[in-house]
Amino acid sequence: MLDLTGANETDVREEVAAPMLKLLGYARGTNCDIAREPTLSYERHFLGRKKQTDPPLRGRADYILSVVGVARWVLEIKGPSEPIDIDAIEQAISYAKHPEISASYAVVLNGREVTVHHASQRSIDVPLLQFQVTDVNSLAEKIGALLSPASIRRDCSPPMLDVARPLATGLRSNVDILRGDLTHHDLRWRANVPLLPEAVAGLDELRRRVQGLKVAVTGGSIGRDAASRIRAKLVWSLPHDQILQFALDKRLMDSEYIALAEVLSRDAEHPTVFDVVGMVEVRAGEPMFNIVSWTTEAAGIETKMSYAGSATGYLEDYEIKGSFESTYRCIYPAIPGLELEMEMEGSFRVELDRR
């Protein structure tokens, strides 16, 4: 608990406000700037044209915090013995609304309590935030949900002008993928020549392990390219670091799923189809993660694998869900007559950003 016995407004500035702003990431002369008691060229309230009857502003704003190019907020400091009443809140809001400041938020802090109002609110309205201050760290953590530079950029950035064709009604032409998952239901394999018993056993065990395997989608995007085709790109959370490294080395994370449909379908009976194709080469001796033994092993033979897949889904609210199938064809330059083909199928869902 902060000990503010005998403290005054200056103490609140130095012991509470200044360290809080530092923890939030504000510093003078940066893109997250601090201006202390700025001078206004017209120190009166006004909306539109200035008039002699405009009432004067009381005092000066203690701090103006600016996230350059995005938004500002006003911080008014009071002594611990001064209550945060309607007059104090009104003073902060009046500065926030002043055209020379044009801040989004008005904050009042007396070291024991803090309130946050939007500049569009009245002083008698319920604050966006109001809580007792126990220590500077928790103060910065709580208030940062609204007023950290990242939060200001998130909530106050000007709206993006998007004139390209929407992906679907209610969506922009480009949206972020927030999260999702992909579940493998089955794997089938076949070879054009008989395989050794140990190879058959290994492929059968691979099939068993793949069934029910779920992979998390942690991000990505879906949007239109210059030709207005719809392209999707996913970011995966893979179950082992070695698998992730392999995917990065082989640029599997760069794979794009392309749909030729004009818009994303919201009709489960007539879904949108995305296609993906690619090629992966594995050199003999290259480290490979064996999902059957759950160990990293050296590839025993050079492999060239082509893959082709499709994801068929429809949009429900802000979620795309459906099924997928993929085919992997492997050839081995050292064994010219051998071809191995694997087919996988499963289901997926991805959640889109609503903004």
Q: CA Rg, the chain, in Å?
A: 30
Domain for residue 161, yes or no?
A: no
Residues 309 and 184 in one domain: yes
Domain for residue 308, yes or no?
A: yes
Residues 253 and 213 in one domain: yes
Domain for residue 167, yes or no?
A: no
Residues 182 and 142 in one domain: no
Q: Per-residue pLDDT for the chain (355 aa), expressed as one digit of tens each?
A: 688 888 999 999 999 999 999 999 999 989 999 988 876 644 444 443 444 544 555 556 789 999 988 999 999 999 999 999 999 999 899 888 887 788 999 999 999 999 999 999 999 999 999 999 999 999 999 999 999 999 999 898 876 666 688 999 889 899 999 999 999 999 999 999 999 999 999 999 999 999 999 999 999 999 998 888 999 999 988 877 877 788 888 787 788 999 988 999 999 999 999 999 899 999 999 888 777 777 888 888 999 999 999 999 999 999 999 999 999 999 999 999 999 999 999 999 999 998 7
Residues 149 and 180 in one domain: no
Domain for residue 146, yes or no?
A: yes
Domain for residue 222, yes or no?
A: yes
User: Nearest CA to 199 among 190, 187, 211?
Assistant: 190
Q: CA 102 → CA 28, 38, 66, 120, 127, distances in Å?
A: 19, 13, 11, 11, 19
Among 156, 182, 207, the domain-final residue is 156
d(CA 213, CA 236): 14
Domain for residue 169, yes or no?
A: no
Among 109, 128, 156, the domain-final residue is 156
d(CA 58, CA 285): 76
Number of domains in the chain: 2
Residues 71 and 196 in one domain: no
Find all residues with CB under 8 Å of 131, minimum gap 6, and list them: 113, 114, 142
d(CA 140, CA 2): 14
Q: Which domain holds residue 110?
A: 9-47+54-156
Domain for residue 163, yes or no?
A: no
- The CATH number of the domain holding residue 230 is 2.40.160
CB 267 within 8 A of CB 238: no
Is the pTM above the cut of 0.75? no
DSSP codes, 107-161: EEE-SSEEEEEETTS-TTSPPSEEEE---HHHHHHHHHHHHSHHHHHHHHSPPPP
Residues 23 and 148 in one domain: yes
Residues 87 and 137 in one domain: yes
Residues 132 and 184 in one domain: no
- The CATH number of the domain holding residue 91 is 3.90.1570
Residues 104 and 187 in one domain: no
d(CA 241, CA 247): 10
Residues 143 and 187 in one domain: no
Domain for residue 125, yes or no?
A: yes
Residues 320 and 217 in one domain: yes
